[in-house]
Amino acid sequence: MGEGKMGGELLFSEQVGLYAVIGVAVAALVYAVILARQIFKEPTGSGKVKEIWGGIKAGANAYLRTQLRSVVIFIGILGIFLYLSAALASYPFSITIGRVGAFLLGSFFSGMVGFIGMNMAVQGNIRVSEAAKKGFHGALKIAYRTGTITGMLTDGLGLLGGTIIFLIFLRNAPEVLLGFGFGGTLLALFMRVGGGIYTKAADVGADLVGKVEKGIPEDDPRNAAVVADLVGDNVGDCAGMAADIFESYEVTMVAALLLGLAITPFDFKWIVFPLLARGIGVISTIVGTYAVSLWPDKITKGDAFKAMDLSYDVSSVISTASFLALAIFYVQDIRVFIATTMGIILAISFNKLANYFTSPNKKPTTMVAASSKTGTATVILRGLALGFESTVWTALVIALTIVVSVIVFSGAGVAFAMYGVALAGIGMLTLTGNNIAMDSFGPIADNANGIGEMAGLEEGPRQILADLDSAGNTTKAVTKAIAIASAVLAAVSLFAAFTATVPGLKLDIAADPLVFVGLLIGAALPFLFSFISIRAVSRAAEKIIEEVREQFRIPGVMEGKRLPDYAKVVKICTSAAQRELASIAIIAILSPLLVGSLLTSSAWGGFLAGVILTGQLLAVFMANAGGAWDNAKKKIEDGYYGGKGSEEHKAAVQCDTVGDPLKDTAGPSLNPIIKVINLVSLLFAPVILQLKNIAIYQIPGTEVRIPVVSMIVSLILAIIIAAAILYSKREKFEVPEKPNKKTNEKPT
């Protein structure tokens, strides 16, 4: 294409390239439609299978409808505040309106990805169950291509929205795209947190009563929580992860464009390159995802994960080679190739690390399973140790990626160095379609296996479904790791944009102790979010356990002569998930505004750094420890160390119920939370800093100056946040009577 033109106009060749990117985005959506048509042509079966599937479909849609009604209120309120913040900060009217419109569009696209993706997963699971009767390859193809639909929607809508906004606003596009990214992030927060609470409350309740107390199989139709558990897989892993990755996809693009805009002298090539790279990623994803079911058995040996991993590598090679050509012939700077390739290497490294620490066929998880011979406590200890170790290695890999990206642009200035980090995020999420396809494959296979067990399929199809389910556990662990790493790179890039936005910001702890105060507060916040979400799961699971126990007492349920009331447990899960969303959203959105208005700008920067640091470490620890406990349980269920129904199995199930809210609720919810906090800071920093200069009161006889308006705002925000925390802690419980020591009688 040649070197980009300085100034405010795109070269003709750059315009052609960007319109080609729009064409690629449309092609991704067309590919999704083609795959959907193929899936709908597959048979669904009949009889009991269809009846079970109908309950899953109804429950999943009922939950999402309830959640989206709650989210609309937040979207409306935040849209108004977004407009006011831009207007008060004296942005041009076109940018102010554009940002609000982009916010609404990002929210809509993120919600659409989650809603359609979840519904396609529900449509796919029954077809996978039916296809298993004919063989492994047919079931694998349906499961993976169903997940690919969600991946291509994410790629297509994300790229389409981002590129069109860029073409309309050009140099002002990054400011508008902040709204687009924030809309996606807000929806991801709701879907991740709500879906995570829903799915794990149902899972924990179903396992503890069904497996441990009654000794019945995992997806036994006599268990009242089993349908809610299957519904939860879809609303948590499909809708939640799709929205999560969608907003990472957008936020990394926004960060790259913001930092590209900060490079001097200005050249459009720095902000056109990330968009072109994303277009290349879509093409390589289409090739890779379609190839999954085409690998011969002599290569994959019947291993579904290996087929997906090979295809991921194929997509990676195509993208890397294309980035090299783009760097040489368009940007004429090999550094952009190195930075984006480091992102792809990071994604592959996280794939391998997560697979090593969580796969039931690898040593770490096998050792966790073996420790079940000595009881529940040793399984917990082994899992905790594994989680701590894996966190170290993943943190070092992320650090190495950032270091290399910075070194590549060393000597070119801070803006270039952080631009390199943003490009690593672009490279990492180049294969977003592959990542989401792998993640959605997990709950689709899990649901298909559950339907097969509840419907009493023959041993052959059941084994195929069990093998796919096992591979799905690994793919979910792998994609969770990639989601965490992408969240960190996106947040670091946004943090860099924040430091460039706030004038005179210096993060010097020695010179300004308040930086350390901000760091401490930010580092503590992920623990607060984890406390709220895990407690929410525990509280809801307790209600479900009581309900399932009660239904087992109904005559005929345990004997299999009548079905339990599945809908009642679904309702408990839905209401429990919705109750906790408001508290977490309020704290995530308002806490950075409180720190910014109450403390110095440098303390605000320290706060953001603290959130990113502990958020990443906690998320990796919880994801890998929980994944290892889950797959250790699966290994025992495959006949190792006593097999199903043994004391070892009961110990593993109990540990899995501890790990479930870690890996599927608290851990994944930290991804959107750290990005929400950084985006809110970036969006509202100008107006918060302006408030500090309004109505200044100087205490007589001192040099102390108090910004009155800022202090009033801080007080209001602190009261709202405190109320949200207290609301999350609400709980009714009975105070036990004191035991009678003389008679040694226990209280009733």
What residues have CB less than 8 Å from 726, skipping those under 6 apart? none
- Residue 2 predicted with pLDDT over 50: no
Q: In this predicted model, what pLDDT tens digit does every residue of 329-363 receive, in sequence order?
A: 998 999 999 999 988 888 888 778 888 888 888 88
Number of separate domains in the chain = 1
pLDDT reported for residue 36:
92
Residue 554 lies in a domain: yes
Residue 702 lies in a domain: no
pLDDT reported for residue 732:
64
pLDDT reported for residue 737:
65
Sorting pLDDT into bands at 50, 70 and 90, what band is 4?
very low
Q: Which domain, by its residues, includes 403? A: 12-691
Q: Is the peptide bond before 43 cis (omega within 30 degrees of 0)?
A: no
How large a percentage of the chain has pLDDT more than 90? 18
Sorting pLDDT into bands at 50, 70 and 90, what band is 729?
confident
How large a percentage of the chain has pLDDT more than 70? 95
- 3-state class of 698 per DSSP? strand
Residue 311 lies in a domain: yes
Tell me the whole-structure pTM to 2 decimals.
0.85
pLDDT reported for residue 273:
92
With vertex at residue 251, the alpha carbon angle to CA 248 and CA 253, rounded to the nearest 5 degrees, is 110
pLDDT reported for residue 618:
92
Residue 134 lies in a domain: yes
Contact between 646 and 556 (Cβ < 8 Å) = no
Residue 722 lies in a domain: no
H/E stretch holding 31 reads: helix 12-41
- Residue 732 Cα distances to 370, 539, 581, 711, 735, angstroms: 39, 10, 19, 35, 10
Q: In this predicted model, what pLDDT tens digit does every residue of 115-138 receive, in sequence order?
A: 888 888 888 888 888 888 888 888
Q: In this predicted model, what pLDDT tens digit does every residue of 230-274 receive, in sequence order?
A: 777 777 777 777 777 787 788 888 888 878 887 878 788 888 899
What is the dihedral sign for C-alpha 661, 667, 671, 677? Answer: positive
Residue 736 lies in a domain: no
Q: In this predicted model, what pLDDT tens digit does every residue of 462-501 receive, in sequence order?
A: 888 888 887 777 777 777 777 788 778 888 878 887 887 7
Beta-bridged to residue 706, according to DSSP, are 697
- 3-state class of 693 per DSSP? coil
Residue 84 lies in a domain: yes
pLDDT reported for residue 731:
67
What residues have CB less than 8 Å from 526, skipping those under 6 apart? 611, 614, 615, 618, 619, 670, 673, 674
Residue 679 lies in a domain: yes
Give the dihedral of Cα atoms 385, 728, 582, 226; nearest 10 deg.
Answer: 60
